[in-house]
Structure 1
Amino acid sequence: MRIGEVARQAGVSVDTVRFYERRGVVPAAERRPSGYRIFDAGVVERIRLAKGLQELGLTLDEVVDALAAHDAGGATCDSERWRLEAVVERLEAKMAQLSKARDAAVAGLRDCRAGHCRFTQTPPR
C-alpha cells in the first residue's frame, strides 16, 4: 500500500505517516526501486491505534513505548494500566493549574470592572 492510501485510510496526512515512520510508531516501509514507500495494510490500524492513544492523552513517546510493549507480546490491561493512571494524574494537575489561572483572571476582570485595572497601574520604582 502506498503512503497516500495509508494516509487516506488512517485519516491522517502523508506528513503524519512519514513522521510516525521516523518516530517508530510504524515500522519502516519497504522501498520500491522507484523510491516509493510500500506499507503493510496493518499500518493503517496501527496509526489509528496510535491516534486513539494520543486522544486519551498519551504523549507520542508514551505511545511509542506502549506500542513497543504491545509488540513484545506481554501487554495486558493489568500491565499497561499505569500508563492511563499517569495520564489522569497529569490531566488533573493541568486542570488544577488552569483552574487557578482562571480564578486569577476572573479576579482581575472583577477588579477591572470596579475601576482597579491591573494593566494601568504604574509599576513601583
Structure 2
Amino acid sequence: MKIGQVANQAGVSIDTVRFYERRGVLPAADRRPSGYRVFSESAVERIRMAKALQDMGFTLDEVIDALHAHDTGDATCDSERWRLEGVVDRIDAKIADLQRARRHTQGILEGCRAGQCQLALGST
C-alpha cells in the first residue's frame, strides 16, 4: 500500500504515518526503486491501535513500548496491567487538577457576581 492509502484507511494524515515510522510505531516501510514507501496491510491496524492507546491516555513512548512487547510475544494481561494503572493514575491526577481549577474559578466568578471581580484590575 502507498502511504496515502495507509493514511486514508487509518484516518490519519500522511505526516502522522511518516512520524509513526520515524518513532518506531511502524516498522520501516520497504521502498520501491522510485523511492515511494510500500506498507503492508497490517500498518493500518497498527496505526489504529496506536491511536486507540493514545486516546486512552498512553504517551507515545508507552505506545511504542506496548507495541514492541506485543511484537515480541511478551505482552500478557498480567505483564501489561501496570501500563493501564499508570494511565489511570495520570487521568486521576488530571481530574484532581481540573477540579481544583474549577473551584478556584468558581470562587472568582462568585466574587464577580457580588461586585468584587478579581479580573477587573484597576476598575471599581
Indicate the larger mover: 91-100 or 112-121.
Answer: 112-121
Distance (Å, rounded) in 1 between the aligned partners of 2:104 and 2:31: 55
TM-score with structure 2 setting the length: 0.94
Q: How does 1:2-81 map to 2 (within 5 A)?
A: 2-81=2-81
1:120 is matched with: 120
Structure 1: any 5+ residue segments left out of the alignment?
Answer: none
Give the secondary-structure state (helix, strand or coil) at the position aligned to 2:107.
helix
Number of paired residues? 122
Q: Which amino acid aligns with 1:51?
A: K
How big is the shift at 1:121?
Answer: 4.7
Distance (Å, rounded) in 2 between the aligned partners of 1:32 and 1:45: 22
Q: CA RMSD in A?
A: 1.0
CA deviations 1:55-75 (Å, max 9, x no partner) are 111011110011111111110
TM-score with structure 1 setting the length: 0.94
Distance (Å, rounded) in 1 between the aligned partners of 2:27 and 2:72: 14
Distance (Å, rounded) in 2 between the aligned partners of 1:97 and 1:3: 40
Structure 2: any 5+ residue segments left out of the alignment?
Answer: none
Give the secondary-structure state (helix, strand or coil) at the position aligned to 1:9.
helix
2:110 is matched with: 110
2:97 is matched with: 97
